[in-house]
Amino acid sequence: MDQTHPTFSVSESQLFQRNGAARAICAPDGTTKRGVSLLMLRPGEIEITQHAPEPGCSPEVARQYTRWLATHHYENFNVVSWLLPKALHQHFYNVYAYCRWADDLGDEVPDASRALELLTWWEHELDACYEGKPSHAVFVALRETIIAKDIPRQPFADLLKAFRQDQTVKRYPNWDAVLGYCVYSANPVGRLVLYLCGYGDEQRQRLSDATCTALQLANFWQDVSRDLDIGRIYIPLDAAAARGLSENDIVERRFDERYVGLMKDLIVRTRALFAEGRPLAKMVNGCLSVDVEMFARGGLAVLDAIEAMGYDTLHYRPAVSKLKQAALLSRALVAHLVGGNPRASGRLPEPAMARTQHPPGRDAAPLYRMNLAQSYEECHRIARASHSNFYYAFFLLPKPKRDALAALYAFMRLVDDVSDENQSLLAKQRGLAKWRAAFDESVTGHSQVFDGNAAMPLPSEALYGEAEVLPALVDTMQRYKMPARYLHDLISGAEMDLMVRRYPTFERLREYCYRVAGTVGLTCTHVFGFRDARALDLAEKLGLAFQLTNIIRDVHEDYRLGRVYLPEEDLQRYVVSPDDFGRSETTLGVRELLRFEAERAWQLYEEGSTLLGLVDTDSRGALWLLVHTYSALLGRIELLDFAVFAERIRLSKAEKMMFIAKARFGRTTEENILEKRDRDRRRAGGAGSRRRTG
């Protein structure tokens, strides 16, 4: 421990003397007097005693000590603390100091009988505190918190039961035994936090228990190797036996498919508990909501890390990186600040869909889902945050159709984000498999299995907050008679993006474009409404045109990401090397190649634009705006002679607003749906005047 404390005042430095022993007053027989501990801690027995003030110190000195302990002893506490209202900081420091001392008394003393003695001493101090006669500095400070927040003795005492149990119990025969331990080791912490923030009702405590138990279990599965080092196994032995593993197999760290199966089973149960506790974040006010969300996301990230490293926690401890922790905090903050917390009043969200059906023999934890209105609200939040060209078109639709497009967009955005995340290929594949399984579960009402590309129950719980879009998506599909295969094809497109880096022919590229963009056109057309079957073919063509426009614009950026979407047969035709896309300037060959691909896109725009007359009247403005905006982008690229290697070509906000005004108030027809092109920029003969090899 650092022996310098530059942030202390002189009085604080004097406070925390460094003689290595707590200054408890001791009677000759080592007993206790009422309200004052007389049990002497041996010099240097545990590190935490090094800076403790004298017994019976003033409340001010006690508060300084608990604040110092919280901000110096536990690296993650500051991250949590600054999210909370300043008025609560000291109360959290006081409760934290109690938990820290109890934990160290139980874990830092090697002799179990001695640890039990010290824990008994600590409970006597707790009793003295509740009798109004605190002595130890931690309890002098804690007494103020107990009175201010009206906290009962039970959660503090329950924690001590867990620490005592750790001294005598090293194995757990079944799930009931493990969950019973969590009742004392984890759940009291959540209840104390609720009391500190003014919540003492049973409903919130029950949800907090589910989250805290899930966090404890995630930590158990993460720390199997560490616990084995100190002789403990928290894995339920009957769960291990169900997979053919004995206690000795675990002790000897035999890692094989049996252990992989065991970890999968344990993770399923743990994810179900996270899902059960999920509504709590929407039932508390202010920054506590962010904390609850962040801790739950962090626990799920631990489970993801176990999966990503292949489940071998017998030999390795998977960790969540600092970067990942920061991302989790960022997501929790954004969800709170952008989405708000309309449900802090206290009711449980009502399930919008049927409870997940589980295979025989598996316990089913309740799965609470957002109601339909909340699900649509979350979809709109995601769409707003994206600043996509699509979102502007939503406002030209009646509200039911606007909601439907938001649901489709949110689902597609989240699936696409899996491919774009900075994770391993295996983690991305598993992420997409989770989305596919959760989508199936939502549509059919039956759980599917997943693990990479395989299965296990409760897939929607694996997505945690992201699954909130699914009720709205399923409602949209049902109302607009949308085939599920469109969205399965979309996920296949995202999977294709992970594996395919080159496309030999345009037909192969067309297949990809159908999956990632044609499906978008098809789903939107179902929402727009149509009576002529030709509409779907035209919608697919427009989706392909949109995607070709994006490919042309992003050819330089995609190359830097290791992808070349333009067909190899076309590169050969124009004597272009893939490395040409990585240059600082566009070569003549690349310009001719992009001009050729642009002609393909224009042909698709011209054919697909006749869709305008086939969709419902109330949807034509939105369709016109989408086609006009994307064709204008292609026109701008053409106008700039395909100089796409510098800064990204885009339309200005003023231009987009002008297009919206035209779509809303102007005359929208097939004649003006496409932005006019600067024909002087086109080579004579268009796509036919291509360069050939030889």
CATH of residue 533's domain is: 1.10.600.10
Residue 650 placed within a domain: yes
Domain edge (last residue) among 456, 482, 508? 482
- Contact yes or no for 475/403 (Cβ under 8 A): no
Q: Is 627 exposed, middle or buried (0-12, 13-18, 19+ CB in 10 A)?
A: buried
Q: Does residue 299 lie within any of the structural domains?
A: no
Domain check: are 533 and 447 in the same one? Answer: no
Question: Do 418 and 566 reside in the same domain of the chain?
Answer: no
| pLDDT value at residue 278 | 86
Q: Which domain range does residue 666 map to?
A: 500-689
Q: Are residues 468 and 507 in the same domain?
A: no
Q: Are residues 476 and 548 in the same domain?
A: no
Domains of the chain: total: 3
pLDDT given at position 87 = 86
In a domain, 505, yes or no: yes
Confidence of residue 661 (pLDDT cuts 50, 70, 90): confident
Cβ-contact 80, 96 below 8 angstroms: no
What is the arithmetic mean of pLDDT over 192-219?
93
Q: Taking 50 as the threshold, does the pLDDT of residue 4 lie above it?
A: no
* Cα 321 to Cα 340: distance, rounded to the nearest angstrom: 28
Whether the per-residue pLDDT at 345 is higher than 70: the answer is no
pLDDT > 90? residue 620 = yes
User: How confident is the model over 513-536, as a mean pLDDT?
Assistant: 95
Domain boundary among 248, 265, 289: 248
Distances (CA, A) of 649 to 384, 582, 656: 22, 17, 14
Average pLDDT on 306-310 reads 88
Predicted local distance difference test score (pLDDT) of residue 157: 95
Does pLDDT of 15 surpass 60? no
pLDDT tens sequence across 438-485: 888 888 775 544 443 333 444 445 554 568 899 999 999 999 999 999
> Do the Cβ atoms of 129 and 142 come closer than 8 Å?
yes
Residue 394 predicted with pLDDT over 50: yes
Asked if residue 553 and residue 684 are part of one domain, the reply reads yes
Q: What is the pLDDT, as a whole number, of residue 487? A: 94
pLDDT average, residue stretch 510-526: 95
**Domain match, 43 and 166 both:** yes
Higher pLDDT, 321 or 145: 145
Exposure class string for 505-519: b at 16+ Cβ within 10 A, else e:
ebebbbbbbbbbbbb
Residue 350 has pLDDT above 90, yes or no: no
Least confident of 70-84, 244-258, 303-317: 70-84
Q: What is the DSSP string of 235-293?
A: S-HHHHHHTT--HHHHHTT--SHHHHHHHHHHHHHHHHHHHHHGGGGGSS-HHHHHHHH
Q: Report the pLDDT averaged over residues 539-566.
A: 94
Question: Do 453 and 516 fall into the same domain?
Answer: no
Q: Is residue 683 part of a domain?
A: yes
Average the pLDDT over each of 325-334, 393-402, 597-606 and give the range with the smallest value: 325-334
The residue to which tokens 């760290």 are assigned: 253
Q: Please state the rounded mean pLDDT for residues 138-143.
A: 96
* H and E: helices and strands count for the chain: 31, 0
260-275 pLDDT, tens per residue?
A: 999 999 999 999 898 8
Strand partners of residue 615: 530
Quote the CA–CA distance of 176 and 182 in Å, as a whole number.
Answer: 10
Indicate whether 181 belongs to any domain.
yes
Q: Are residues 88 and 20 in the same domain?
A: yes
Does 60 share its domain with 164?
A: yes
Q: What is the mean pLDDT of the chain?
A: 81
Q: Quick one: 458 and 523 in the same domain?
A: no
In this structure, is residue 89 part of a structural domain?
yes
* Residue where a domain terminates, one of 208, 230, 248: 248
Which pLDDT value is given to residue 163? 93
Q: Are residues 423 and 552 in the same domain?
A: no
pTM equals 0.50
330 occurs within a structural domain:
no
Q: 257-261, 425-429, 476-480: which has the minimum mean pLDDT?
A: 425-429
Highest mean pLDDT among 353-367, 425-439, 517-531: 517-531
Same domain flag for 526 and 670: yes
Does residue 578 lie in a domain region? yes
Q: Are 458 and 449 in contact (CB under 8 A)?
A: no
567-598 pLDDT, tens digit each: 999 999 999 999 999 988 889 999 999 999 99
Q: 269-278, 326-335, 521-530, 624-633: which range is least confident on average?
A: 326-335
